[in-house]
């Protein structure tokens, strides 16, 4: 029989695992331009989805954005692949605080790890804009397939 203290530990451990397990889906939203956006408080990261990187093919260059305020819908940077160049758009009003410099040397990381290879970090006060983005289920319906978010 579990003591009250041990039962509390089990509940806390399971609660922690539960929140860690749904944290990504709860805090991650998607745009119809095939970007993923993760927001924790007013701090966020943005990258392109697995579906997007597959459509682009081998990525050969990532142009990082200027560190400044970007309006909703504004192009913030460019990703070039062997097939095409594609703009990445600001999903809502954001202040870009950092670009992922690693991608300037190894742009192919976006192909191999699209969810680990964020493009920008930002701050925002537009949490309503974030809430208007697509959930994972809505994004999967848009693209007509399951999105692999495992990396």
The pair of structure tokens assigned to 12 is 């806390």
Report how far residue 142's alpha carbon sits from residue 109's, in angstroms, rounded to the nearest whole number.
25
Read off the pLDDT band of 11 (50, 70, 90): very low
The pair of structure tokens assigned to 123 is 């701050």
Read off the pLDDT band of 14 (50, 70, 90): very low
CB of 76 within 8 A of CB of 89? yes
pTM of structure? 0.81
Nearest to 31 by CA among 64, 66, 75, 67: 75
Nearest to 65 by CA among 21, 18, 113, 98: 98
Whether 129 maps to a domain, the answer reads yes
Q: Give the pLDDT of residue 133.
A: 97
Whether 102 maps to a domain, the answer reads yes
Q: Give the pLDDT of residue 65.
A: 93
Whether 9 maps to a domain, the answer reads no
Counting the structural domains of the chain, the total is 1
The pair of structure tokens assigned to 117 is 């290879």
What Rg do the C-alpha atoms of the chain give, in angstroms?
A: 18
CATH code (residue 48)? 2.40.50.100
Mean pLDDT score across all residues of the chain: 85
Report how far residue 38's alpha carbon sits from residue 44's, in angstroms, rounded to the nearest whole number.
5
**What is the domain extent for residue 93?**
24-143
CB of 126 within 8 A of CB of 71? no
Whether 40 maps to a domain, the answer reads yes
Report how far residue 104's alpha carbon sits from residue 121's, in angstroms, rounded to the nearest whole number.
15
pLDDT in tens, 75-123: 999 999 999 999 999 999 999 999 999 999 999 999 999 999 999 999 9
């Amino acid at each position: 029989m579990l003591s009250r203290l041990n039962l509390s530990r089990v509940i806390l451990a399971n609660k922690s695992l539960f929140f860690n397990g749904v944290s990504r889906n709860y805090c991650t939203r998607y745009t119809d331009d095939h970007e993923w956006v993760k927001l924790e408080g007013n701090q966020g990261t943005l990258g392109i989805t697995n579906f997007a990187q597959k459509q682009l093919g081998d990525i050969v260059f990532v142009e990082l954005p200027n560190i400044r305020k970007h309006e909703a819908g504004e192009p913030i940077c460019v990703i070039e692949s062997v097939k095409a160049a594609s703009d990445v758009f600001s999903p809502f009003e954001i202040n870009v605080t950092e670009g992922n410099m690693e991608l300037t040397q190894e742009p192919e990381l976006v192909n191999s790890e699209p969810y680990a290879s964020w493009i920008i970090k930002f701050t925002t006060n537009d949490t309503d804009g974030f809430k208007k983005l697509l959930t994972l289920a809505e994004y999967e319906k848009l693209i007509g397939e399951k999105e692999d978010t495992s990396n």
